[in-house]
Structure 1
Amino acid sequence: MNTLVNILLCTFRRPEVVRTLESLATMDLAADVLVRVVIADNDDTPSARDVVAAVTDDLPWPVHYLHAPARNISIARNACLDAVDADADFICFLDDDEWVVPDWLTQLLATANHTEADAVFGPVIASYDDTAPSWIKAGDYHSSYPVRRNGQVETGISGNVLLRWGADVPWKNERFDLARGRSGGEDTEFFFRLRRAGAHFEICDAARAWESVPDARLSLAWLARRRYRMGQSYAASATTNVARAKLALSACLKAGYCGIMAVFNAPIRARRFRWLLRGTLHVGVCAGCLSLRQSEHYGGSP
C-alpha cells in the first residue's frame, strides 16, 4: 500500500525557496512513498509564482502553487492545509529558507511508524557564514532542536515536522491561529492544541533540515526579540488562570536567577549573553501569561 505525503511550504519574498525545492528533489524514498508539494505564497502579489515555476519542471514530484496573500503566516499555513490531498496519510511542514538531507523524509516516516507517533519533529540546524560573530556560532543560537520536558514532547515548530493526516485523526479541521500570524508562535500554539486533542509527539534527530542565517539576524537584539517571542508563545501551554499564574511565577523566578547569573558572568561576553537570552525567554513567558501584546515579526521584507 502506498503512503502519500504532502509537503507544505509557505513562502514570502525568499528566493531561497528554490534551494528548498532542489533539496527535496534529492530525497531517497521507498517506491511506495508518494510525494506532493504545496507552496503558499503569502506576498501581496504572486511574486513567487515565476520563481517556483522555473524549477518545478525539474522536480520528480507534482508541485501545487497557490497565492495566499495578506502577509500573515497563519493564512498561508491554513491555505496549505486546505489544499492537502483528501487521501494524504501524512503532511510535512518546511520553511522556505531550509534544505534537507536525502533521507530526511525516510527518517521521519520510520520514526512515526516505529513509535506510532502522530507528529515527529526534527532539528533545524543553523548554517553560519564567516560574518557571524564567534559567540553566536559557539552558542548556536539560531538552531532549533525539539526538546522533551518531563519526558514528554509538549509542542514543536513547523520548520521540520511530519504530522499524521488520515481521515480518522481528530485534528483534521484544526487550523493555525490568525491572531498569531504576524507575531509568530502560531505553530507552537497549534501543536499545543493538537496535543490536548490526544496527539502523541516524538523526536527524530536524524531527520535534519538546515537553515542559512542572514546578517540581519546576527545580533544580540534580534536574538533577544526572538527569545522574548518564544517565551510568549510557550505561555500558550497554560490554559487556565491558575496554570498561567503558576507558570508566570516560575518564569519570574527563573528570569531573576538568569539576571543574577548574567551579572556574575559580566566579564565574559559569551556567558553574559547566554544568561541574558535565557532570562529574556522567561520574561517573555511572564508577558505571555499576562496576555501582553505581541510585536509583529512577519509581513515585512525578510
Structure 2
Amino acid sequence: MGVAGKNRSIDISVCTFRRPELADTLRSIAAMDMPSGFEIGVIVADNDDAPTARALVTTLARELKLAVTYRHAPARNISIARNACLDASTADLVAFIDDDETASSRWLAELVATAETSGAVAVLGPVRAHYGSDAPDWMRKGDFHSTLPVWVRGEIRTGYTCNVLLRMSDESLRGRRFSLARGQTGGEDTEFFYQMVKAGGRIAFSPEARVDEVVPRARATFDWLGRRRFRFGQTHGHLLGSNASGLRLAVQVGLASAKAAYCFASAVVTAVSPVRRNRSVLRGIMHVGVVSGLVGVREIRQYGLSSPQEGGKRAA
C-alpha cells in the first residue's frame, strides 16, 4: 500500500454537528497506539450553520498536541462534511470515525494492519454500543445498536463511515464523493461503498479495530430503530431499483414483500421472546422500506434537524 522505507500518511476524519462528545473522540485519538511508519493528522468538518465547534477543536488540538485541520462545512448535510474531509486530505489513507464514538487504543493500528495484509481498498471495524441503565432490557440483550458489516456469499458489498479506513489512491475511489442528495436522508455511505465495489474496490473487516459508542436515550427506543431500519431498506431499494425495470423490478418488489411478510409472521411465532420478536419486526420494517425504495418513494429525512440525536446516527 505504499513505498517501503518511506513514511506514509493517514488523515483521521471526524464530521461533527453540535456534539460536545467530540472532545472525547479527539482525546481517544490522541491516546491511541499510533501505527509506526505513518504521519497522522486529524480533519474535523463542522456541519453546523455557524462554526460552533471551532473553539473546542482549537483548544483540544493545542492541549492534546494533535495536528488538526478544522473545516467549516455548512450546513446540515452530512455529505457536505464528509466531502470536505476528503477534499482537505492529501494523505495516502483516510479513516473516518463519528463524533460520538471513542477509539480503542489499537483502533487505527488494527485497521492499517488489516489493510496491509488484505490489500483491500476499504477496511471496516466494529462499533460496540454501550447502553444506559434506562435502555429497555430487550434492547440491551439483543444489542440492536452495535455496527458490523453485512456479508453476502462471503463478501462485504457495502460499508459505513463510522469506522473505516480508505486507500485513496485506488482507482475505485479516484474522485469519488458522497451524494449530496442523500446528505439529509442517510444512506450516503451505503451508496458510496456500493459504487466503490461496483468499480472493483474490495472491502475487508478488522474485528479488533473497535470503536465504542454510548447510545443516548433518544435512540434507545423501538421507534428510532424502526425509522432507521426503514431508511436502510429505502436506500437498498433505490440502489436495486436503479438497475431494474419492468418484470425484473416487479420480481424484486414481490421478493421484498414476501420477505417482509415472513418476518412479521416470525414475530408472531416468537412473540414470547421480546428480543426475537422485535428483531423480526425490525427486519420486516426494513423489507417494507426496500419495497418503498423500489417503487420510488422518496427517502425519509433523518438529518439536518435541530438536534443530531433527533435524526440519529450519521452512518449507513
State TM-score, norm by structure 2: 0.91
User: Residues of 1 paired with 2:58 and 2:51: CA distance?
Assistant: 12
State TM-score, norm by structure 1: 0.95
Listed one character per residue, the Cα deviations across residues 208-231 of structure 1 (whole Å, up to 9, x for unaligned) are 011111101111111100111111
User: Residues of 1 paired with 2:211 and 2:174: CA distance?
Assistant: 25
Note if 1:142 corresponds to 2:148. Answer: no
User: Residues of 2 paired with 1:268 and 1:108: CA distance?
Assistant: 37
Q: Is residue 10–residue 93 contact of structure 2 (8 Å, CA) maintained in 1?
A: yes
State the partner residue of 1:109.
Answer: 112
State the partner residue of 2:208.
Answer: 206
Q: C-alpha displacement at 1:244, in angstroms? A: 4.5
Which amino acid is 2:254 matched to? L
Q: C-alpha displacement at 1:13, in angstroms? A: 0.4
Listed one character per residue, the Cα deviations across residues 12-61 of structure 1 (whole Å, up to 9, x for unaligned) are 00000110000000111243111111111000111111121221112343
User: Residues of 2 paired with 1:4 and 1:25: CA distance?
Assistant: 16
Listed one character per residue, the Cα deviations across residues 89-130 of structure 1 (whole Å, up to 9, x for unaligned) are 110111100011111111111111101101001111111121
State the partner residue of 2:97.
Answer: 94
User: Residues of 2 paired with 1:30 and 1:200: CA distance?
Assistant: 22
Alignment coverage as a number of residue pairs: 299
Match for residue 53 of structure 2 among 41, 48, 70: 48
User: Residues of 2 paired with 1:143 and 1:246: CA distance?
Assistant: 32
Listed one character per residue, the Cα deviations across residues 143-188 of structure 1 (whole Å, up to 9, x for unaligned) are 111121111110011000001012x534221111111000101000
State the partner residue of 1:21.
Answer: 26
Identity of counterpart residues, as a percentage? 47
Note if 1:132 corresponds to 2:109. Answer: no
User: Residues of 1 paired with 2:249 and 2:186: CA distance?
Assistant: 20
State the partner residue of 1:180.
Answer: 182
State the partner residue of 1:196.
Answer: 198
Q: Is residue 192–residue 236 contact of structure 1 (8 Å, CA) maintained in 2?
A: no
- The CA RMSD measured in Å over matched residues stands at 1.4
Q: C-alpha displacement at 1:84, in angstroms? A: 0.7
Q: Which runs of 5+ in 2 are unaligned?
A: 1-5, 309-316
Note if 1:250 corresponds to 2:252. Answer: no
Q: Is residue 263–residue 283 contact of structure 2 (8 Å, CA) maintained in 1?
A: yes
Secondary structure at 1:10's aligned position in 2?
strand
Q: Is residue 48–residue 76 contact of structure 2 (8 Å, CA) maintained in 1?
A: yes
Matches within 5 A, 1:230-245: 230-238=232-240, 239-242=242-245, 244-245=249-250
Q: Which runs of 5+ in 1 are unaligned?
A: none
User: Residues of 1 paired with 2:249 and 2:232: CA distance?
Assistant: 16
Q: Per the alignment, do residues 175 and 44 of structure 1 end up closer, same or farther by CA in structure 2, a change over 3 Å counting?
A: same
Secondary structure at 1:57's aligned position in 2?
helix
Match for residue 10 of structure 1 among 4, 9, 15: 15
Q: Is residue 172–residue 197 contact of structure 2 (8 Å, CA) maintained in 1?
A: no
Q: Per the alignment, do residues 8 and 247 of structure 1 end up closer, same or farther by CA in structure 2, a change over 3 Å counting?
A: farther
User: Residues of 1 paired with 2:77 and 2:230: CA distance?
Assistant: 20
State the partner residue of 1:75.
Answer: 80
User: Residues of 2 paired with 1:8 and 1:215: CA distance?
Assistant: 26
User: Residues of 2 paired with 1:105 and 1:154: CA distance?
Assistant: 22
Secondary structure at 1:18's aligned position in 2?
helix
Q: C-alpha displacement at 1:271, in angstroms? A: 2.6
Secondary structure at 2:151's aligned position in 1?
coil
State the partner residue of 2:314.
Answer: none
State the partner residue of 1:277.
Answer: 282
Secondary structure at 1:202's aligned position in 2?
strand
Matches within 5 A, 1:218-229: 218-229=220-231
Please say which of residues 170-179 and 245-254 is displaced more in the overlay. 245-254
Q: Per the alignment, do residues 61 and 169 of structure 1 end up closer, same or farther by CA in structure 2, a change over 3 Å counting?
A: farther
Q: Per the alignment, do residues 34 and 244 of structure 1 end up closer, same or farther by CA in structure 2, a change over 3 Å counting?
A: farther
Q: Per the alignment, do residues 64 and 149 of structure 1 end up closer, same or farther by CA in structure 2, a change over 3 Å counting?
A: same
Secondary structure at 2:155's aligned position in 1?
coil
Please say which of residues 245-254 and 216-225 is displaced more in the overlay. 245-254
Q: Per the alignment, do residues 65 and 253 of structure 1 end up closer, same or farther by CA in structure 2, a change over 3 Å counting?
A: same
Please say which of residues 18-27 and 232-241 is displaced more in the overlay. 232-241
Q: Is residue 128–residue 147 contact of structure 2 (8 Å, CA) maintained in 1?
A: yes
User: Residues of 1 paired with 2:160 and 2:251: CA distance?
Assistant: 24
Q: Per the alignment, do residues 134 and 146 of structure 1 end up closer, same or farther by CA in structure 2, a change over 3 Å counting?
A: same
User: Residues of 2 paired with 1:288 and 1:2: CA distance?
Assistant: 45
